[in-house]
Structure 1
Amino acid sequence: PMMRFDTSYSQPTGGQPRDEYEAALDTWNKMDLANVHGFPVWEPEVFELFKSNFGELKAIFASYAMSGGSGAKGGMTMDQGELTQFSMDCSLETGELPITRIIKIFERADVVDENSKSRQKASTGDGALELHEFFEAL
């Protein structure tokens, strides 16, 4: 088996606030990427891009997650409608990647596997993506 990337050797990107770096690291460590094609071959490079751009990526998530949420978790999760709006705004839907496939990816990211890094009990999900689940879907 291929060795996994060890994030403990990572450092903040030049000028990156420590709290942003730690939030990126925490989010990355919650992500279950084992089902993503080519994992873990690309993990070090993708982690560096993720870490370096975490502030902007989190702001994009927050913008869509707050667009229609309600209740205590409304601004912290992205529901299917918000993901669909994000997909349309970013032109993710194509002939090769129809909206039905995007929704299936959403549903897959929302599932908690029994081998999940989040240490949560396996479940079918709650119908809304948390920050780390959103990044899994992307």
Structure 2
Amino acid sequence: MELRWMRAFVAVATELNYGRAALVLHVSQPAVSQQIRQLERDIGVQLVERSSRSVRLTMAGTAFLPRCQETLAGADAAVRAARNAGDGEHGLVRVGFVGAMASRGVSSLTSTVRSRHPGVELRISASDHSRGTRAVQG
């Protein structure tokens, strides 16, 4: 089973239209149809019911869709992780802060780092002058 077949299936399942799925995928409509047929042949079950007017998922297609989405998300994450590591964007960053930075700034920093640099682990420490430093996982 190929990821491109799964991508075609997800596009068709999302759009419920082969033409729109082809536009989303930047390929021709016959290519999408062929990939869906290859996928169905490979797994041995019909995923999509086609008619001249509509496209519907079969029960098998409905069950298969979330697993395809998970698999594709995992594959995309693996590619990002490899690219990040290849670009040096992996590792651990430790950040310490005091006072007012705790509420607004740390939350914003954590969100930004996680979305832009998923390969970077962020460890945040808050300093409490009376008790030393305590770790806050971010």
**Which TM-score tier does this pair reach, normalised by the shorter chain?**
under 0.3
Larger Rg: 2
Q: TM-score, normalised by structure 2?
A: 0.22
Q: TM-score, normalised by structure 1?
A: 0.22
Which has the larger strand fraction? 2
